[in-house]
């Protein structure tokens, strides 16, 4: 697993084959703000919903500040996923560094 910054992720989202962006925050958090095109699976549901994740390709995991997403990425690594990234600073870093108009909490 590797770390990725919000600015690096923004660049990666602009390519022909962007990574799968997995948001593991709670539903109320996701309702407040989200990255365009992200896929929402709350952290507690990940074990039951592994089949919804791409078996191949890059997955960027994010949460509010990067702690829960790091735990999920570590779990996914143990499940055999290999192209994993943790968004450093989470959605909060995205709001600060990429989209200042995004709601913060």
Domains and CATH numbers, the chain: 2-97 (3.40.250.10)
pLDDT of residue 15: 87
Catalytic status, residue 33: no
Q: Which of 4, 33, 59, 63 is catalytic?
A: 63
Provide the token pair at 82.
Answer: 């290999």
Distance CA 91, CA 81 (A): 22
User: Using one digit for the tens of pLDDT, what is the confidence trace for 11-57?
Assistant: 999 888 999 999 999 999 999 999 989 999 999 999 999 999 998 99
pLDDT of residue 80: 97
Strand order in the sheet with 84-87: 2-4, 84-87, 59-62, 20-23, 39-40
User: Using one digit for the tens of pLDDT, what is the confidence trace for 64-85?
Assistant: 999 999 999 999 999 999 999 9
Distance CA 70, CA 76 (A): 10
């Amino acid at each position: 697993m590797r770390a990725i910054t919000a600015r690096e992720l923004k660049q990666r989202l602009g390519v022909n084959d962007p990574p799968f962006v997995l948001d593991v925050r709670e539903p109320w958090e996701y309702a407040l703000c989200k990255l365009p095109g992200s896929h929402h699976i709350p952290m507690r549901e990940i074990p039951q919903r592994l089949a919804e994740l791409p078996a191949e390709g890059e997955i960027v995991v994010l949460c509010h500040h990067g702690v829960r997403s790091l735990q999920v990425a570590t779990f996914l690594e143990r499940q055999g996923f290999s192209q994993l990234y943790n968004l450093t600073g989470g959605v909060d870093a995205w709001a600060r560094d990429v989209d200042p108009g995004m709601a913060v909490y």
